[in-house]
């Protein structure tokens, strides 16, 4: 294979946010011993996932009620996160070839009063909360007080996030975004959180609802990461969901946001028609946002089945020279035995499929870093990223 040789004209990379597949060896360091997102959901009841099973999902490891495919259509394996942490930014950055030396900071007791006071000074308002909380619960607790006072709700979670919630009729969305930009500049050095997140909501007391105008302000990724390499190669990149936000737009030529997983799959299908080559990169967030963090095992199971159902026609729309990569960025085990609602330190599934390969699945094994996926994409388009071992040749057997 020579430099610049293209194996697949187009790569479609879909991150199933939080769909982990069992604890990593260092899970104890994170309080995550025994956490297993897919394993516990599969144990809860029989899952109907014919497309994922055909591609090789149940060949990665034993999953109750799911029989492994005798001849999986895709390459299958699992990936370890080498960087410390278990959040969206860490996982996606590592996929793109960035290894972190230390995890992004988390705030189990809220942010320092010094930091909050400075933030309030810069936005010209007081704030509410300043503590870790569920996004839906914090609205039940403080939504009415926010509407009465006009003070934005500042909260965090088990992740490295500084979240600002505001009612759209009280603080207009552009003003909320401005507050997030102020926070992003403030949160640097030892307080360099992975993401500042705008959380607009509407409705009335007892019936508050978060809207789709969420916006993430990520830390600028170090160079060179995958999307920089693709930009240098003039490989077009189309982002779906929060991909644009996670990488601060670097190397993303065009993008669309999504309302939910169904909308995400519809926009992925539209992207097949509009972008004949390059990378289509998507994050489907419902598994994490609606079910993992809310400890909703049955909702998570239904969401997986919904995705599998939508995956069928999507696979049929792919071309012979397409490569599909399915993976996750971390886990978020909803098993009620473990009381935490935080992400979990888990392996992620890796499935690689091309219609042109027929029933030619190969065991990709256990990959030592999520960057192996990014290196595979980079090599496919004639580039190279700082970390990771490509498994491209294993897909062309």
Profile the chain (397 residues) by mean pLDDT over runs of 10 residues: 64 98 97 97 98 98 97 97 96 98 94 98 98 93 98 94 98 98 97 96 96 91 97 98 94 96 98 96 96 95 98 97 98 93 96 84 96 98 98 86
Q: Evaluate whether residue 2 is within a structural domain.
A: no
For residue 355, CA distances in Å to 52, 68, 358 come to: 14, 20, 6
Q: Evaluate whether residue 170 is within a structural domain.
A: yes
C-alpha 59: how far from chain center: 23
Please give the tally of structural domains in the chain: 2
The DSSP secondary structure of 131-145, one letter per residue, reads: EE--HHHHHHHHHHH
Are 177 and 232 within one domain?
no
Are 192 and 121 within one domain?
yes
Q: Could you say which of 181, 198, 218 is where a domain stops?
A: 218
Q: Could you say which of 186, 201, 218 is where a domain stops?
A: 218
The DSSP secondary structure of 233-260, one letter per residue, reads: TT--EEEETTHHHHTTTTT-SEEE--SS
How are beta strands 195-202 and 215-218 bridged, if at all? antiparallel
Q: Could you say which of 196, 218, 240 is where a domain stops?
A: 218
Beta strands in the chain (DSSP E): 10-16, 75-79, 128-132, 153-156, 161-167, 195-202, 209-210, 215-218, 237-240, 254-256, 278-284, 322-327, 348-353, 363-367
Are 313 and 388 within one domain?
yes
Looking at residue 305, its pLDDT comes to 98
- Give, as one character, the DSSP assignment of residue 34: T
| CATH number, domain with residue 387 | 3.40.720.10
All residues at 6 or more sequence positions from 118 whose CB lies less than 8 Å from its CB, including other chains: 186
Are 240 and 192 within one domain?
no
Are 210 and 247 within one domain?
no
For residue 141, CA distances in Å to 138, 207, 224 come to: 5, 12, 43
Tokens coding 322: 């397409």
| Residue 277 CB-density burial (10 A; 0-12 exposed, 13-18 middle, 19+ buried) | middle
Closest CA to 175 of 244, 242, 246, 123: 123
- Give, as one character, the DSSP assignment of residue 30: G
Looking at residue 24, its pLDDT comes to 98
Looking at residue 358, its pLDDT comes to 62
Q: Evaluate whether residue 5 is within a structural domain.
A: no
* Residue in the block written with tokens 């946010």: 17
Closest CA to 160 of 190, 181, 123: 190
Are 250 and 359 within one domain?
yes
Contact assessment for residue 45 and residue 65, using Cβ atoms and an 8 Å cutoff: yes
| Residue 382 CB-density burial (10 A; 0-12 exposed, 13-18 middle, 19+ buried) | middle
Contact assessment for residue 218 and residue 195, using Cβ atoms and an 8 Å cutoff: yes
- Give, as one character, the DSSP assignment of residue 172: -
Across 80-110, b (16+ Cβ under 10 Å) vs e yields bbbbbbbbbbbbbbbbbbbbbeeebebbeeb
Beta bridge partners of 100: none
Q: Evaluate whether residue 108 is within a structural domain.
A: no
Looking at residue 339, its pLDDT comes to 87
117: containing domain: 113-218
């Amino acid at each position: 294979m020579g430099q610049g040789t293209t194996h697949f004209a187009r790569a479609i990379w879909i991150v199933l946010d939080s769909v982990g597949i069992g604890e990593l060896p260092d899970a104890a360091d994170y309080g995550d011993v025994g956490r297993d997102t897919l394993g516990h959901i599969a144990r809860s009841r029989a899952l109907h996932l014919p497309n994922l099973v055909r591609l090789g999902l149940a060949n990665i490891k034993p999953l109750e009620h799911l029989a492994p495919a005798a001849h999986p259509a895709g390459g299958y394996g699992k990936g370890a996160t080498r960087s410390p942490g278990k959040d969206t930014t860490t996982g996606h950055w590592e996929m793109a070839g960035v290894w972190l030396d230390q995890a992004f900071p988390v705030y189990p007791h809220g942010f320092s009063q010094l930091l909050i006071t400075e933030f309030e000074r810069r936005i010209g308002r007081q704030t509410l909360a300043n503590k870790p909380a569920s996004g839906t619960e914090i609205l039940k607790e403080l939504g009415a007080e926010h509407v009465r006072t006009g003070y934005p709700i500042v909260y965090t979670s088990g992740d490295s996030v500084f979240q600002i919630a505001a009612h759209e009729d009280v603080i207009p969305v552009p003003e909320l975004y401005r507050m997030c930009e102020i926070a992003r500049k403030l949160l640097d050095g030892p307080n360099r959180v992975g993401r500042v997140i705008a959380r607009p909501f509407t409705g009335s007391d007892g019936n508050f609802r978060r809207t789709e105008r969420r916006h993430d302000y990520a830390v600028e990724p170090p160079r060179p990461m995958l999307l920089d390499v693709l930009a240098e190669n003039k490989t077009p990149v189309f982002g779906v969901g929060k991909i644009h936000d996670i990488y601060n737009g670097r190397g993303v030529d065009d993008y669309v946001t999504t309302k939910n997983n169904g909308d995400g799959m519809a926009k992925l299908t539209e992207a097949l028609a509009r972008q004949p080559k390059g990378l289509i990169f998507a994050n489907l967030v419902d598994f994490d946002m609606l079910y993992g963090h809310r400890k909703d095992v049955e909702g998570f199971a239904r969401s997986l089945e919904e995705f599998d159902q939508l995956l069928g026609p999507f696979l049929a729309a792919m071309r012979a020279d397409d490569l599909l990569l399915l993976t996750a960025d971390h886990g978020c085990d909803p098993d009620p035995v473990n009381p935490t609602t935080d992400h979990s330190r888990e392996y992620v599934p890796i499935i690689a499929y091309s219609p042109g390969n027929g029933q030619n699945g190969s065991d990709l094994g256990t990959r030592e870093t999520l960057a192996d996926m990014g290196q595979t994409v980079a090599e496919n388009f004639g580039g190279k990223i700082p970390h990771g071992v490509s498994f491209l040749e294993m897909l062309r057997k």
